[in-house]
Chains A and B, each alone.
Chain A
Amino acid sequence: MKQLNAIFEGLGSAILLTTRAFATLPSAPRIIKRVVEQVFYGGYGSLPIISILSFFIGAVLALQSGISLQNFGAKQLIGTLVGESLVRELGPVMVAILLAGRVGSATTAELASMKVYQEVDALVTMNIPPERFLVLPRLLAVLLYMPVLTIIAIVIGWLGGAVICNYVTFIGVEPAQYFQSMKQFLTTHKMVDGLVKSEIFGFCVILIACNTGLRTRGGPREIGHAVTRAVVFALITILVLDYFITKAQA
C-alpha cells in the first residue's frame, strides 16, 4: 500500500515537474548553452559505450538466430531478424537502459546533491526556477540526442550481425545477402516506430532522474538512495512501457 502510494506520488510529481518545466519554455533561448552541454555530455559522451554494446548485441543476435534458423534451413532470414529486432526492440530498449545507467544516475546524483546542500533553495531565492535551470535543458537535450544515439546503435548492431554472418563458418551468409534480406522487410514505418519508442523512453528516464533527484530530502546518505531508486524505477518503466508501446504500434 505504502509502495503504491509512493508510485502515485512519484507519477503525480513527475507530471507536475514536466508541466512546470515546459511552462518555462518561452525563456528557452537563455538555456541553449545548457542544452548543448547536456547533449554533449549525454549524447556524445555515451557514444563509445553504445557502439561497443550494440556491436555485440547485433553479433549475438546474428549468432543465436544463425544457430536456430540453421535447423529450418532459413539462414537467409538472419538479416531480416537482426534488422527488425534491433530497429523495433533492442535498439531503443538498450539505449534507454544505458541512458538510465549512465546519464540517469548521474543526473539524479547531481540534482539530489544540489537539493541536499541547499543549492536548489539558493536558486529559488534567486528567482531562477530549478525547473527551467536544471530540468528543461536535460529534457530538451535528451529529445535531441536520443534518436541519434538509437540510429547509431541500430546501424552498428547491423554491422555486428553482418560481421558474424560473414566470418562464422557454420553460418556463412554473405553481407550482400544479409543486407538484402534486411532491406526486404524493413520499412520507414518500422524505423519511425522504433525512434518514437526511444524518444518516449529517453524522456521518461531523464524525467524520473530529475524528479527523484529534486525530491530528495535529508542528508548525504539520501543521495545514494535516490540514485538507486531512480535507476530501478527507470528500468521498470522502460520495460513496462515497452510492452504497451509495442502493443500500440502492432
Chain B
Amino acid sequence: MKKTIIQERSGGDRKPVGVEVIGLSKSFGSQSVLREINLSIHPGEIFVIMGPSGSGKSVLLRQMAGLDLPSAGSIQIDGHDPANPDTRDRFALALVFQAGALFNSLSVYDNLALYPLEHRLCPKNEIRERVLRALKILSLENAAKKFPSELSGGMKKRVAIARALVMEPQLLLYDEPTSELDPVMSATITEIIATLKNEFKVTSVVVSHDRDLALTIADRVAILMRGKLLFVGTPAELRKATDPAITDFLNPQIDLKKPRYLQLEAS
C-alpha cells in the first residue's frame, strides 16, 4: 500500500474516522430542514444517504463538514467538533460540492495542487506527480491547463472529485458525485469511491440518487425524507424494506394512466 501524505505527516499512523450525529436539527428562519437526526457513521465505511431533492441532504453534509452550525444537537468527528478549525488540522476532510465549487481564477491543475502547496505537504515534483495521477484517474489529462469556466458540468464534477483525491482525506463527503455524469463515468466514480475505502481507509459519506451506487458499494444506506431519517441499514435490508415511501422512492413506477402530477393536484 502506497503511503499517503497524511500518513507521512502523522508518522504513518492513519486511522479512519467515525462521525456521530446526535439529535441534530437545523432550521433556516421558520423553515425546519433537519429534525432530530441521530446517526452513527462507522470508521472506514461507505455510508450512502439517499432522499428526494430538497430533503436536506446537502444541508446535512455541510453540517458534517463544519460549514454551518446546527440549530440544535451536535456532530462529532472522532469526538471533535467539525466546525472547530483545530479539528481540520487534526483530520483531513474533503467535501465534493454538488456544483463543484472549483476556484474559478485557478486552472484545473492549480485547483488540485492548491491543498498540498498551501499545507507544504511535499516537494513540488511530488505534488505534480500526485496531481497528474488524480487527473489521469478521472480522465482529465487534457484539461489540466483549462479553467473551470471552460469545462462542462460533468467535467467540473470530476475535477472536484480529483481535487478531493489529491487531499487524501480521512473523511470524504460527496454531494451527488455521479449526477450529471454519463454511465461509464458514473461507474468509474463508483469504483473510485469503493477503491479509496480499501486503499486509503477513508470514511466516505455519499449523498446520491444513484441506486446502483447505493446498492453495490454502500456498507450502509440511510434514507432522508423531509428532514427525517426514514431508514438506516445495509443494502440487503433496504431491498427487503416494505415501507411504501421507501419502495416507491427506489422503484418509481411510471404509470401513464394515472400520472403522479394529477394525483398531486387532486390531493
- The interface of chain A, by Cβ under 8 A from chain B, is 30, 110, 113-114, 117-119, 121-122, 124-129, 133
Contacts and interface: CB of A to CB of B under 8 A. Distances in A.
A118 to B, nearest CB: 4
B94 to A, nearest CB: 7
Interface in B88-141: 88-89, 92-95, 97, 99, 101-105, 114-115, 118-120
A122 B97 contact: yes
Contacts of B99: 117-118
A126 B119 CA distance: 9
20 contacts: A113-B104, A117-B99, A118-B97, A118-B101, A119-B101, A121-B65, A121-B97, A122-B97, A122-B101, A124-B88, A125-B67, A125-B88, A125-B93, A126-B94, A126-B114, A126-B115, A126-B167, A128-B114, A128-B115, A128-B119
B103 A128 contact: no
A119 B104 contact: yes
B89 A119 contact: no
B85 interface: yes
B85 A121 contact: no
Contacts of B167: 126
A127 B95 contact: no
Interface residues of B, number: 24
Nearest to A128: B118
Nearest to A132: B118
A129 B105 CA distance: 17
A128 B106 CA distance: 15
Contacts of B95: 121-122, 125
A127 B103 CA distance: 15
Contacts of A126: 94, 114-115, 118, 167
A126 B101 CA distance: 12
B92 to A, nearest CB: 8
5 tightest Cβ-Cβ pairs between the two chains A and B: A118-B101, A127-B88, A122-B101, A125-B95, A128-B118
A117 B67 contact: no
Given A117-B104, A125-B93, A128-B118, 15 more contacts: A114-B103, A114-B104, A117-B99, A117-B101, A118-B99, A119-B101, A121-B62, A122-B95, A125-B65, A125-B95, A126-B114, A127-B89, A127-B93, A127-B119, A128-B114
A114 B97 CA distance: 14
A115 to B, nearest CB: 11
B85 A127 contact: yes
A120 to B, nearest CB: 9
Given A125-B95, A126-B167, A119 B103 contact: yes
B97 A133 contact: no
Contacts of A125: 65-67, 88, 93-95
B117 to A, nearest CB: 8
A129 B85 contact: yes
Interface string B61-88: 0100111000000000000000001001
Contacts of B119: 127-128
B88 to A, nearest CB: 4
Contacts of B62: 121
Contacts of A122: 95, 97, 101-103
A122 B85 CA distance: 14
Contacts of B66: 124-125
Contacts of A119: 101-104
A30 B115 CA distance: 13
A197 B171 CA distance: 49
B57 to A, nearest CB: 15
Contacts of B101: 117-119, 121-122
A121 B119 CA distance: 17
A174 to B, nearest CB: 52
Contacts of B88: 124-125, 127
Contacts of A129: 85
A214 B44 CA distance: 35
